[in-house]
Amino acid sequence: MTAPAALRALRGRLLWFVDDPWAVGAAAHRFIEDGLLLIENGLVRAAGEAKSLLPTLPATAEIVDHRPHLIMPGFIDAHIHMPQTQVVASYGAQLMDWLNRYTFVEEQKLGEQGHAEKLSAFFLDELVANGTTTAAVYCSVHPQSADAFFTESQRRNTRMIAGKVMMDRNAPDALRDTAESGYRDSKALIARWHGKGRQLYAITPRFAITSTPEQLAAAGRLAAEHPGCHVQTHIDENRAEIAFARELYPESADYADIYRRFGLLGPRSLMGHCIHMTHNEWQAFAETGAVAVFCPTSNFFLGSGLFDWAHARQRGIRVAVATDIGGGTSYSMLRTMAEAYKVLQLQGQSLSAYAALHAITLGNAEALGLDHLIGSFEPGREADVVVLDTGATRAMAHRLETVRDLAEELFVLVTLGDDRNVLATYVMGARVVLPR
């Protein structure tokens, strides 16, 4: 990582969002053909026309010319599993069998000396190579896995949300904690890491199937004691999973009610998948402010189903989008949005390029409650930035010869893009050396 200059200026085509394109259309974005993004001490100082800002710069300012490329806020991934980097592309199973056959086998390795450190370094390399600068991350049940992840993120100065998974049943012995130890270890990790630099903690019961009522109650106590922390878990991903959860919690009206009874549904709750939601479950999300996290590539890969984004919007429910590595099949938020487009097409819904790019920048920042810090180029925001070559591949460059406007160019980027389009990633104004 190159050290940030006291004042650094990135020149290129600037694109960022100030509102939701679904709600306000073209007024939602800002685009400057020849723009300058001024970064001072890691924060955005200004974004505007190069011809206006260049004369104001002191002689000591560093100007990095990225023309004719696109400069956007760094991408945000709202649900991803650090221990599953070697689970991606595991053949032929749906959710519950996939967990037992592949995921739990790999997650046990994080108890071995040095393994969590190895995976954390690879994982963060892969994120920045794909232009992702913030993510909500599941570690393993081992407290040292969260320590290793936060240590590596702190070293890189990336803004990450993460937590030790809590699970005390329906998992191998080596992956089970207890209600008491899960509470105690999570509380110690919160004290050690939450708010340290750019690190944030998420209370992380894996899902109702792998937690006893006692453990969900302990997770609820943690959420009440630490209201600044996120909560992250899974819900309504797979019909067999739903039936099992209902069997384990027969006193609950539905899956969402399990979490609500234990104080785990709220405005900082990131609820992965939300595919087979009932009317009452959507209502619970609307009443509590919980966030539905849409994971299109894993939903396709595991055969789980189609997320109904239009219905969530109609109910006023916040939606975030995520790769869900390793059920998901790409670290790229561009590839993720290409699959999201297909999920919506299958349901008679549409997704414009502007809506897709808003979702993985300002939209996800708002869903995570971090839009005052990241997700746009408004003054004072943290300067996490991705530089994109929209014609990075032969096929894309060939297609771009016929585009008529920015919207068409961006749709090509969203539909065909991946890590090859990422020319540079900046974290708090410092350029990251991208692994290739």
Rounded-to-10 torsion of CA 336, 342, 344, 348: 170
- Answer yes or no: are the C-beta atoms of 255 and 271 closer than 8 Å: no
In 3-state terms, what secondary structure has residue 134?
A: strand
Q: Other CB atoms closer than 10 Å to residue 151's CB: what's the count?
A: 15
Q: What is the DSSP string of 312-330?
A: HHHTT--EEE---TTTSS-
- How far apart CA 415 and CA 393 sit, in angstroms, is 13
Element (H, E) at 336: helix 333-345
- How far apart CA 30 and CA 157 sit, in angstroms, is 27
In 3-state terms, what secondary structure has residue 407?
A: helix
- Answer yes or no: are the C-beta atoms of 356 and 17 closer than 8 Å: no
Closest CA to 246 of 209, 284, 292: 209
User: Model's pTM, two decimal places?
Assistant: 0.97
* Side-chain half-sphere exposure of 300, counting CA atoms within 13 A: 19
- Answer yes or no: are the C-beta atoms of 382 and 351 closer than 8 Å: no
**What Rg, from alpha-carbon coordinates, does the chain have?**
21
In 3-state terms, what secondary structure has residue 416?
A: helix
Pairing outcome for strands 269-273 and 230-235: parallel
> Amino acid identity of 208?
A
Q: What is the DSSP string of 157-176?
A: T--EEEE-EE--SSS-GGG-
- How far apart CA 321 and CA 314 sit, in angstroms, is 17
How is residue 360 annotated by DSSP?
A: I
What's the confidence (pLDDT) of residue 291?
Answer: 98
What's the confidence (pLDDT) of residue 434?
Answer: 87
What's the confidence (pLDDT) of residue 5?
Answer: 57
**68-100 residue pLDDT tens:** 999 999 999 999 999 999 999 988 778 778 888
Tokens in use for 391? 């014609």
What's the confidence (pLDDT) of residue 9?
Answer: 98
Closest CA to 152 of 114, 110, 124: 124
- Scanning 66-167, the segments in alpha helix (DSSP H) are 95-98, 104-107, 115-129, 143-156
Tokens in use for 19? 């509102």
Helix 143-156, helix 179-193: angle, nearest 10: 20
> Amino acid identity of 191?
A
Low-confidence ranges of the chain (pLDDT < 70): 1-5
Peptide bond into 143 cis (omega under 30): no
Element (H, E) at 271: strand 269-273
**223-241 residue pLDDT tens:** 999 999 999 999 999 999 9
Tokens in use for 403? 């585009």
- How far apart CA 159 and CA 161 sit, in angstroms, is 7
Q: What are phi and psi of 349, to 5 degrees?
A: -110, 165
Residue whose entry in the numeric block shows the structure tokens 């991606």: 88
Closest CA to 349 of 282, 296, 422, 276: 296
What's the confidence (pLDDT) of residue 251?
Answer: 97
